[in-house]
Amino acid sequence: MAAAPGGSAPPAGPGPRLGFSTADSGVGMSGLNPGPAVPMKDHDAIKLFVGQIPRGLDEQDLKPLFEEFGRIYELTVLKDRLTGLHKGCAFLTYCARDSALKAQSALHEQKTLPGMNRPIQVKPAASEGRGEDRKLFVGMLGKQQGEEDVRRLFQPFGHIEECTVLRSPDGTSKGCAFVKFGSQGEAQAAIQSLHGSRTMAGASSSLVVKLADTDRERALRRMQQMAGQLGAFHPAPLPLGACGAYTTAILQHQAALLAAAQGPGLGPVAAVAAQMQHVAAFSLVAAPLLPAAAASSPPGGGPGSLPGLPAPIGVNGFGPLTPQTNGQPGSDSLYNNGLSPYPAAYPSAYAPVSTAFPQQSSALPQQQREGPEGCNLFIYHLPQEFGDAELIQTFLPFGAVVSAKVFVDRATNQSKCFGFVSFDNPTSAQTAIQAMNGFQIGMKRLKVQLKRPKDANRPY
């Protein structure tokens, strides 16, 4: 390195950053490579902070000092954004993690550069260390897997600094863990390879591997939980932006349904049948157990009676419901005067509400909450396309729905075809079971039953 090319470079005019090419870094084989090879860094490389650098030294001057510990990937002297003045420190990344460790132990606080009165600082940059970028949250572990099993799983990706399985007070695993790697690269590699890659024995879904929440995200989560709790105590419309609108929509919707249900000869089941045809556009067939009224067409002929209509859920309640025009010109105009295609008996308030609803619900992630004992339903054999919104709408006629959740596979985002609905009282729950258990949708029949209490079927 006697006559390094950089050594003769004039101090004037070098850019703020020095890209080290192979030829430049003097590996010795540079002459054999026709093109400049882009230096590669290890996935577990560490970015170092270098402090106590004399202002007179730029990248070229510093390079030889650090190169003796290994090949440099990037070396950048920090400069003031406005004035361009040397700030007396730099960031340094070696291609190999090992080089960084060697440089740190050899230089940090070990020697003082000319003109400085404090020793040089060489240590992992702040962004490397206390950032949460190398801590992973691991979900969907088997309940029997302990720290050792988790370590075995993550070991191939790097150095594990910390591994903790989350447990309940009684010591049973919660099926998740934290794994902290030595570097961000290792953590990323583990995410890439492991997330969704397998399903652990006893887990209900494929493995989840992601960055752990940052403090900010954690705070946010708390806030959301608080908001959810508040909502539970104030079921009436809140004077709070979207939340109020959401609740209002539900109440209006319910009122409309009640009105529909109270029509002559129409029970709640009929309302549901009409509603589901309206909202979900699945072809519904009332189960034999249900009153005949349930099987009758909705007023005006809903999508259920128009086979093959590709009605998009919740996009526009009217589109698919508009009576067939059969291509006759002018027939549309029958409905273009602001007149609803529905007979007066069908509440006009209904359609606008159901139209607005899905947007509201998707914008407002509702808190998943259990109702009191006896108020929570487990619903199976849901159509694949059913989402939370459809679930809510299906069970609203029976009472105040506290929460509705369709289970979704974390890896594929596909519905698992079952879900939960919670009411605020047991009577509503029972009514819903009576009306909806066995309800046929397409080829399936809904199974609606009380949710199993947590410690049921447990022999002492």
Interface with DNA (CB under 7 A): 137, 139-140, 166, 174-176, 178, 203-205, 208, 210, 212-213, 218, 221, 368-371, 376, 378, 380-381, 403-405, 407, 410, 417-418, 420, 422, 444, 447, 449, 451-452
Cβ 179 to DNA shortest distance, Å: 11
Give just the sign of the alpha carbon dihedral 355, 357, 360, 362: negative
Is residue 149 helix, strand or coil? helix
- C-alpha to C-alpha distance for 427 and 368, rounded to whole angstroms: 21
- C-alpha to C-alpha distance for 428 and 97, rounded to whole angstroms: 62
**Burial class of residue 332 (count of CB atoms within 10 Å of its CB; 0-12, 13-18, 19+):** exposed
Cβ 402 to DNA shortest distance, Å: 8
Cβ 317 to DNA shortest distance, Å: 25
Sheet strands side by side (includes 444-445)? 284-285, 440-441, 444-445
Beta bridge mates, 181: 160
Nearer to DNA, 49 or 386 (CB): 386
Q: Which helix (H) or strand (E) holds 209?
A: strand 208-211
Cβ 390 to DNA shortest distance, Å: 14
Nearer to DNA, 220 or 349 (CB): 220
Cβ 289 to DNA shortest distance, Å: 18
Cβ 143 to DNA shortest distance, Å: 9
Cβ 131 to DNA shortest distance, Å: 14
Q: β-strands 86-94, 72-79: how paired?
A: antiparallel
Nearer to DNA, 140 or 266 (CB): 140
Nearer to DNA, 122 or 379 (CB): 379
Nearer to DNA, 205 or 322 (CB): 205
Terminal C-alpha separation, the chain: 76
Q: Using only C-alpha atoms, what is the Rg of the chain?
A: 32
Beta bridge mates, 77: 90
- C-alpha to C-alpha distance for 358 and 215, rounded to whole angstroms: 31
Cβ 181 to DNA shortest distance, Å: 14
Nearer to DNA, 115 or 453 (CB): 453
Q: Which amino acid is at 336?
A: N
Buried b / exposed e along 427-451 (16+ C-beta atoms within 10 A): ebbbbbbebbbbbbbeeebbbbeeb
Nearer to DNA, 335 or 378 (CB): 378
Cβ 208 to DNA shortest distance, Å: 6
Q: Are 375 and 402 in contact (CB under 8 A)?
A: yes
Nearer to DNA, 80 or 215 (CB): 215
Q: Are 108 and 120 in contact (CB under 8 A)?
A: yes
Nearer to DNA, 47 or 405 (CB): 405
Other beta carbons within 10 Å of 43: 16
